Protein backbone atom coordinates (compact mmCIF):
# COMPACT_ATOMS: atom_id res chain seq x y z
CA UNK A 1 0.00 0.00 0.00
CA UNK A 2 1.07 3.52 -0.56
CA UNK A 3 2.28 5.47 2.42
CA UNK A 4 -0.24 7.68 4.25
CA UNK A 5 -0.09 11.43 3.73
CA UNK A 6 2.60 12.95 5.84
CA UNK A 7 1.36 16.27 7.28
CA UNK A 8 4.75 17.96 7.35
CA UNK A 9 5.45 16.94 3.74
CA UNK A 10 2.00 18.15 2.66
CA UNK A 11 2.58 21.54 4.26
CA UNK A 12 6.00 21.81 2.67
CA UNK A 13 4.62 20.93 -0.77
CA UNK A 14 1.74 23.39 -0.41
CA UNK A 15 4.18 26.06 0.68
CA UNK A 16 6.44 25.42 -2.32
CA UNK A 17 3.56 25.39 -4.76
CA UNK A 18 2.13 28.55 -3.26
CA UNK A 19 5.51 30.22 -3.48
CA UNK A 20 5.92 29.39 -7.18
CA UNK A 21 2.37 30.38 -8.10
CA UNK A 22 2.40 33.45 -5.89
CA UNK A 23 5.81 34.51 -7.16
CA UNK A 24 4.67 34.14 -10.76
CA UNK A 25 1.52 36.07 -9.97
CA UNK A 26 3.53 38.83 -8.30
CA UNK A 27 5.86 39.06 -11.30
CA UNK A 28 2.86 39.20 -13.63
CA UNK A 29 1.33 41.92 -11.50
CA UNK A 30 4.60 43.88 -11.55
CA UNK A 31 4.72 43.45 -15.32
CA UNK A 32 1.14 44.62 -15.69
CA UNK A 33 1.67 47.74 -13.63
CA UNK A 34 5.30 48.44 -14.55
CA UNK A 35 6.33 51.16 -16.97
CA UNK A 36 8.65 48.96 -18.98
CA UNK A 37 12.20 49.28 -20.14
CA UNK A 38 11.51 51.03 -23.45
CA UNK A 39 9.98 54.34 -22.53
CA UNK A 40 8.19 56.42 -25.10
CA UNK A 41 10.16 59.52 -26.02
CA UNK A 42 10.23 62.07 -23.22
CA UNK A 43 7.99 65.05 -23.78
CA UNK A 44 9.75 68.12 -25.07
CA UNK A 45 10.88 70.62 -22.43
CA UNK A 46 10.80 74.38 -22.97
CA UNK A 47 14.05 76.31 -23.39
CA UNK A 48 14.39 79.37 -21.17
CA UNK A 49 14.84 82.91 -22.46
CA UNK A 50 18.53 83.63 -21.84
CA UNK A 51 18.47 87.38 -22.40
CA UNK A 52 19.53 89.85 -19.73
CA UNK A 53 17.46 92.92 -18.80
CA UNK A 54 17.48 95.60 -21.49
CA UNK A 55 19.34 98.85 -20.87
CA UNK A 56 17.99 101.42 -23.35
CA UNK A 57 21.03 103.64 -22.84
CA UNK A 58 23.33 100.95 -24.21
CA UNK A 59 23.64 100.23 -27.94
CA UNK A 60 22.26 96.89 -29.20
CA UNK A 61 25.55 96.16 -30.93
CA UNK A 62 29.15 97.37 -30.68
CA UNK A 63 32.01 96.63 -33.07
CA UNK A 64 35.63 96.61 -31.94
CA UNK A 65 38.46 96.82 -34.42
CA UNK A 66 42.04 95.79 -33.86
CA UNK A 67 44.43 92.92 -34.27
CA UNK A 68 44.15 91.18 -30.87
CA UNK A 69 40.97 89.08 -30.74
CA UNK A 70 40.84 89.06 -26.93
CA UNK A 71 41.30 92.82 -26.70
CA UNK A 72 38.50 93.35 -29.23
CA UNK A 73 36.09 91.20 -27.18
CA UNK A 74 36.99 93.12 -24.03
CA UNK A 75 36.64 96.53 -25.66
CA UNK A 76 33.27 95.81 -27.27
CA UNK A 77 31.90 94.24 -24.08
CA UNK A 78 32.96 97.26 -22.06
CA UNK A 79 30.78 99.49 -24.25
CA UNK A 80 27.81 97.25 -23.47
CA UNK A 81 28.36 97.50 -19.73
CA UNK A 82 30.81 94.67 -19.22
CA UNK A 83 30.13 90.97 -18.72
CA UNK A 84 28.81 91.63 -15.20
CA UNK A 85 25.68 93.04 -16.85
CA UNK A 86 24.97 89.67 -18.45
CA UNK A 87 26.40 87.01 -16.15
CA UNK A 88 25.69 86.95 -12.41
CA UNK A 89 27.74 85.31 -9.71
CA UNK A 90 27.11 81.56 -9.46
CA UNK A 91 25.41 81.22 -12.83
CA UNK A 92 26.08 78.56 -15.42
CA UNK A 93 27.00 79.85 -18.87
CA UNK A 94 26.89 77.87 -22.09
CA UNK A 95 29.30 79.27 -24.67
CA UNK A 96 28.49 78.10 -28.19
CA UNK A 97 31.33 78.73 -30.63
CA UNK A 98 31.35 77.46 -34.17
CA UNK A 99 33.50 74.40 -33.51
CA UNK A 100 32.19 72.13 -36.24
CA UNK A 101 35.06 71.46 -38.63
CA UNK A 102 38.39 69.70 -38.66
CA UNK A 103 40.16 72.97 -39.54
CA UNK A 104 42.92 75.01 -37.96
CA UNK A 105 42.31 78.56 -36.63
CA UNK A 106 44.08 80.04 -39.70
CA UNK A 107 41.54 78.45 -42.03
CA UNK A 108 38.70 80.41 -40.46
CA UNK A 109 36.06 77.70 -40.52
CA UNK A 110 35.68 77.75 -36.75
CA UNK A 111 35.47 80.61 -34.28
CA UNK A 112 38.90 82.01 -33.38
CA UNK A 113 40.08 80.26 -30.19
CA UNK A 114 41.18 83.55 -28.61
CA UNK A 115 37.70 85.00 -29.05
CA UNK A 116 36.19 81.99 -27.31
CA UNK A 117 38.82 82.02 -24.57
CA UNK A 118 38.27 85.71 -23.82
CA UNK A 119 34.50 85.20 -23.56
CA UNK A 120 35.16 82.38 -21.10
CA UNK A 121 37.58 84.50 -19.07
CA UNK A 122 35.09 87.37 -18.88
CA UNK A 123 32.39 84.98 -17.65
CA UNK A 124 34.67 83.60 -14.98
CA UNK A 125 35.67 87.07 -13.91
CA UNK A 126 32.00 88.00 -13.64
CA UNK A 127 31.61 85.10 -11.21
CA UNK A 128 30.11 82.36 -13.34
CA UNK A 129 30.18 79.07 -11.44
CA UNK A 130 30.49 77.01 -14.59
CA UNK A 131 31.33 77.94 -18.15
CA UNK A 132 30.62 75.15 -20.59
CA UNK A 133 31.89 75.25 -24.16
CA UNK A 134 29.96 72.91 -26.45
CA UNK A 135 29.17 72.30 -30.09
CA UNK A 136 27.83 69.23 -31.88
CA UNK A 137 30.27 69.22 -34.78
CA UNK A 138 29.95 67.97 -38.33
CA UNK A 139 33.39 66.38 -38.32
CA UNK A 140 34.73 64.07 -35.60
CA UNK A 141 34.27 65.77 -32.24
CA UNK A 142 37.66 65.01 -30.70
CA UNK A 143 39.63 66.05 -33.79
CA UNK A 144 37.61 69.24 -34.16
CA UNK A 145 38.13 70.21 -30.52
CA UNK A 146 41.87 69.75 -30.84
CA UNK A 147 42.50 71.14 -34.33
CA UNK A 148 40.28 74.19 -33.90
CA UNK A 149 42.47 75.21 -30.98
CA UNK A 150 39.32 75.93 -29.00
CA UNK A 151 39.63 73.02 -26.56
CA UNK A 152 43.05 74.10 -25.35
CA UNK A 153 42.33 77.85 -25.26
CA UNK A 154 38.93 77.54 -23.58
CA UNK A 155 40.16 75.03 -20.99
CA UNK A 156 43.08 77.27 -20.12
CA UNK A 157 40.59 80.11 -19.65
CA UNK A 158 38.58 78.04 -17.17
CA UNK A 159 35.88 76.40 -19.26
CA UNK A 160 34.59 72.83 -19.30
CA UNK A 161 34.68 71.29 -22.76
CA UNK A 162 31.58 69.21 -23.44
CA UNK A 163 32.19 66.62 -26.14
CA UNK A 164 29.04 66.09 -28.14
CA UNK A 165 30.07 62.50 -28.74
CA UNK A 166 29.57 61.73 -25.06
CA UNK A 167 26.85 64.29 -24.33
CA UNK A 168 23.20 63.45 -23.91
CA UNK A 169 20.46 65.01 -25.97
CA UNK A 170 16.91 65.68 -24.81
CA UNK A 171 13.85 66.82 -26.74
CA UNK A 172 13.20 70.55 -26.45
CA UNK A 173 10.05 72.41 -27.37
CA UNK A 174 10.87 74.75 -30.25
CA UNK A 175 7.29 75.73 -31.04
CA UNK A 176 8.31 77.29 -34.31
CA UNK A 177 6.75 77.71 -37.70
CA UNK A 178 8.49 74.55 -38.98
CA UNK A 179 10.00 72.89 -35.94
CA UNK A 180 7.66 71.80 -33.19
CA UNK A 181 10.41 70.14 -31.17
CA UNK A 182 13.91 68.80 -31.64
CA UNK A 183 16.62 67.07 -29.65
CA UNK A 184 19.10 69.53 -28.10
CA UNK A 185 22.23 69.15 -26.00
CA UNK A 186 20.86 68.49 -22.50
CA UNK A 187 23.09 71.24 -21.13
CA UNK A 188 21.02 73.83 -23.01
CA UNK A 189 18.08 73.10 -20.69
CA UNK A 190 20.29 73.50 -17.58
CA UNK A 191 22.21 76.64 -18.35
CA UNK A 192 21.31 80.11 -17.07
CA UNK A 193 22.99 81.99 -19.89
CA UNK A 194 23.74 81.28 -23.52
CA UNK A 195 26.48 83.16 -25.33
CA UNK A 196 26.54 82.60 -29.05
CA UNK A 197 30.05 82.99 -30.48
CA UNK A 198 29.81 82.43 -34.25
CA UNK A 199 32.24 83.19 -37.04
CA UNK A 200 31.18 84.94 -40.23
CA UNK A 201 31.15 82.69 -43.29
CA UNK A 202 29.69 82.27 -46.73
CA UNK A 203 27.13 79.46 -47.14
CA UNK A 204 25.71 78.24 -50.44
CA UNK A 205 22.18 77.69 -49.17
CA UNK A 206 21.63 80.32 -46.50
CA UNK A 207 24.10 82.77 -48.18
CA UNK A 208 25.42 83.75 -44.76
CA UNK A 209 26.21 81.55 -41.82
CA UNK A 210 26.73 83.33 -38.54
CA UNK A 211 24.79 83.51 -35.28
CA UNK A 212 21.38 82.26 -36.41
CA UNK A 213 22.73 79.16 -38.07
CA UNK A 214 25.27 78.58 -35.28
CA UNK A 215 22.35 77.48 -33.08
CA UNK A 216 22.13 74.31 -35.14
CA UNK A 217 25.25 73.10 -33.36
CA UNK A 218 23.18 72.71 -30.21
CA UNK A 219 20.96 70.18 -31.95
CA UNK A 220 21.19 66.42 -32.21
CA UNK A 221 19.27 64.11 -34.49
CA UNK A 222 19.22 64.17 -38.26
CA UNK A 223 20.00 67.85 -38.77
CA UNK A 224 20.27 67.47 -42.52
CA UNK A 225 16.50 67.64 -42.68
CA UNK A 226 16.54 71.24 -41.53
CA UNK A 227 18.05 72.34 -44.81
CA UNK A 228 14.72 71.68 -46.51
CA UNK A 229 13.47 74.89 -44.86
CA UNK A 230 16.72 76.39 -43.73
CA UNK A 231 15.67 80.02 -43.25
CA UNK A 232 12.49 79.23 -41.33
CA UNK A 233 14.35 76.63 -39.25
CA UNK A 234 17.16 78.89 -38.10
CA UNK A 235 14.63 81.59 -37.24
CA UNK A 236 12.63 79.01 -35.25
CA UNK A 237 15.78 78.14 -33.31
CA UNK A 238 16.72 81.77 -32.66
CA UNK A 239 13.19 82.43 -31.39
CA UNK A 240 13.39 79.44 -29.06
CA UNK A 241 16.93 79.88 -27.69
CA UNK A 242 17.14 83.71 -27.24
CA UNK A 243 20.88 84.01 -26.44
CA UNK A 244 22.14 86.41 -23.78
CA UNK A 245 24.82 87.77 -26.07
CA UNK A 246 26.08 87.28 -29.57
CA UNK A 247 29.82 87.63 -30.07
CA UNK A 248 30.59 87.72 -33.79
CA UNK A 249 34.09 86.71 -34.77
CA UNK A 250 34.95 88.72 -37.88
CA UNK A 251 38.69 88.70 -37.36
CA UNK A 252 38.72 86.91 -40.71
CA UNK A 253 35.63 86.06 -42.70
CA UNK A 254 35.15 83.27 -45.21
CA UNK A 255 33.88 84.79 -48.41
CA UNK A 256 33.64 81.70 -50.61
CA UNK A 257 33.54 77.88 -50.44
CA UNK A 258 31.77 78.12 -47.09
CA UNK A 259 31.02 76.90 -44.63
CA UNK A 260 34.04 74.60 -44.81
CA UNK A 261 36.57 76.59 -46.81
CA UNK A 262 40.04 75.18 -46.46
CA UNK A 263 42.18 77.58 -48.48
CA UNK A 264 43.55 80.79 -47.00
CA UNK A 265 42.41 82.45 -50.27
CA UNK A 266 38.84 81.90 -49.14
CA UNK A 267 39.35 84.36 -46.30
CA UNK A 268 39.19 88.13 -46.06
CA UNK A 269 40.86 89.81 -43.09
CA UNK A 270 38.35 92.12 -41.39
CA UNK A 271 40.00 92.38 -37.96
CA UNK A 272 36.80 93.06 -36.12
CA UNK A 273 34.62 91.54 -33.41
CA UNK A 274 31.00 92.55 -32.90
CA UNK A 275 29.23 92.01 -29.59
CA UNK A 276 25.52 92.59 -29.29
CA UNK A 277 22.34 91.85 -27.42
CA UNK A 278 20.33 92.07 -30.65
CA UNK A 279 20.92 88.84 -32.54
CA UNK A 280 19.31 90.19 -35.72
CA UNK A 281 21.44 93.32 -35.70
CA UNK A 282 24.56 91.16 -35.28
CA UNK A 283 23.47 89.01 -38.21
CA UNK A 284 22.82 92.06 -40.37
CA UNK A 285 26.24 93.49 -39.56
CA UNK A 286 27.84 90.11 -40.37
CA UNK A 287 26.07 90.03 -43.75
CA UNK A 288 27.64 93.33 -44.62
CA UNK A 289 31.10 91.92 -43.93
CA UNK A 290 30.46 89.49 -46.79
CA UNK A 291 29.31 92.32 -49.03
CA UNK A 292 25.69 91.25 -48.76
CA UNK A 293 22.69 93.52 -48.30
CA UNK A 294 21.12 92.18 -45.06
CA UNK A 295 17.69 92.63 -46.61
CA UNK A 296 18.70 90.08 -49.26
CA UNK A 297 19.34 87.41 -46.61
CA UNK A 298 15.99 85.65 -46.03
CA UNK A 299 16.72 84.45 -42.49
CA UNK A 300 17.66 87.97 -41.37
CA UNK A 301 14.47 89.43 -42.79
CA UNK A 302 12.32 86.62 -41.37
CA UNK A 303 13.96 86.99 -37.95
CA UNK A 304 13.04 90.66 -37.86
CA UNK A 305 9.54 89.75 -38.97
CA UNK A 306 9.27 87.44 -35.97
CA UNK A 307 10.30 90.26 -33.63
CA UNK A 308 13.72 88.87 -32.76
CA UNK A 309 15.58 92.14 -33.36
CA UNK A 310 16.12 95.03 -35.75
CA UNK A 311 17.96 94.68 -39.03
CA UNK A 312 18.47 98.44 -39.20
CA UNK A 313 20.57 98.41 -36.03
CA UNK A 314 23.22 96.39 -37.87
CA UNK A 315 22.62 97.51 -41.44
CA UNK A 316 23.52 101.13 -40.90
CA UNK A 317 26.34 102.85 -39.00
CA UNK A 318 27.31 100.88 -35.90
CA UNK A 319 29.12 102.19 -32.78
CA UNK A 320 32.76 101.23 -33.09
CA UNK A 321 35.66 101.16 -30.66
CA UNK A 322 39.33 100.63 -31.26
CA UNK A 323 41.09 97.87 -29.42
CA UNK A 324 44.79 98.50 -29.09
CA UNK A 325 47.21 97.77 -31.85
Per CB under 8 A, residues contacting other proteins are: 1-3, 5-6, 9-10, 13-14, 16-21, 24-25, 27-28, 30-32, 34-38, 41, 177-180, 183, 221-222, 225-226, 228-229, 232-233
When the beta carbons of 232 and 318 are compared against other proteins, the nearer one is 232
Q: Environment class of residue 247 by beta-carbon count within 10 Å: exposed (0-12), middle (13-18) or buried (19+)?
A: buried
CB of 160 to other proteins, least distance (A): 27
Tabulate helix, strand, coil % of the chain (nearest 5): 40, 20, 40
When the beta carbons of 19 and 264 are compared against other proteins, the nearer one is 19
CB of 144 to other proteins, least distance (A): 21
When the beta carbons of 30 and 166 are compared against other proteins, the nearer one is 30
Backbone angles phi, psi at 211, to 5 degrees: -70, -40
Backbone angles phi, psi at 6, to 5 degrees: -90, 120
When the beta carbons of 114 and 236 are compared against other proteins, the nearer one is 236
d(CA 212, CA 300): 8
Q: Strand pairing of 267-276 and 61-66?
A: antiparallel
Backbone angles phi, psi at 38, to 5 degrees: -100, 95
When the beta carbons of 101 and 169 are compared against other proteins, the nearer one is 169
CB of 173 to other proteins, least distance (A): 14
When the beta carbons of 38 and 89 are compared against other proteins, the nearer one is 38
CB of 231 to other proteins, least distance (A): 10
Question: What are the C-alpha distances in Å from 15 to residues 12, 20, 30, 95, 288?
Answer: 5, 9, 22, 64, 84
When the beta carbons of 219 and 253 are compared against other proteins, the nearer one is 219
CB of 325 to other proteins, least distance (A): 48
* DSSP classification of residue 60: S
CB of 311 to other proteins, least distance (A): 22
Strand ranges in 2-141 using DSSP code E only, listed in sequence order: 45-46, 61-66, 92-97, 130-135
When the beta carbons of 11 and 312 are compared against other proteins, the nearer one is 11
Strand ranges in 38-164 using DSSP code E only, listed in sequence order: 45-46, 61-66, 92-97, 130-135, 160-163
Classify 259 as helix, strand or coil: coil
CB of 40 to other proteins, least distance (A): 8
When the beta carbons of 39 and 57 are compared against other proteins, the nearer one is 39
CB of 47 to other proteins, least distance (A): 18
CB of 302 to other proteins, least distance (A): 12
Residue 180: partners with Cβ closer than 8 Å, 6 or more residues away: 44, 173, 174
Backbone angles phi, psi at 49, to 5 degrees: -80, 120
Of 45, 46, 47, 51, residue with least CA distance to 193: 51
Amino acid sequence: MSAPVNRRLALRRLGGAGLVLGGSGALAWLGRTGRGRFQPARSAQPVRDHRAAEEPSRPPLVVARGSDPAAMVTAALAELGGMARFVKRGETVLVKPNMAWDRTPEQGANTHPEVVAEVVRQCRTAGAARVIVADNPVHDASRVAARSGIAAAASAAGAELLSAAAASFVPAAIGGVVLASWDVLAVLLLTDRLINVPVVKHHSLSRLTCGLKNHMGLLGGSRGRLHQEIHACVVDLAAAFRPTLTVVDATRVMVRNGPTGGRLDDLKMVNAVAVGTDAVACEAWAARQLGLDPYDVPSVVQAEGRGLGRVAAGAGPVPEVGAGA
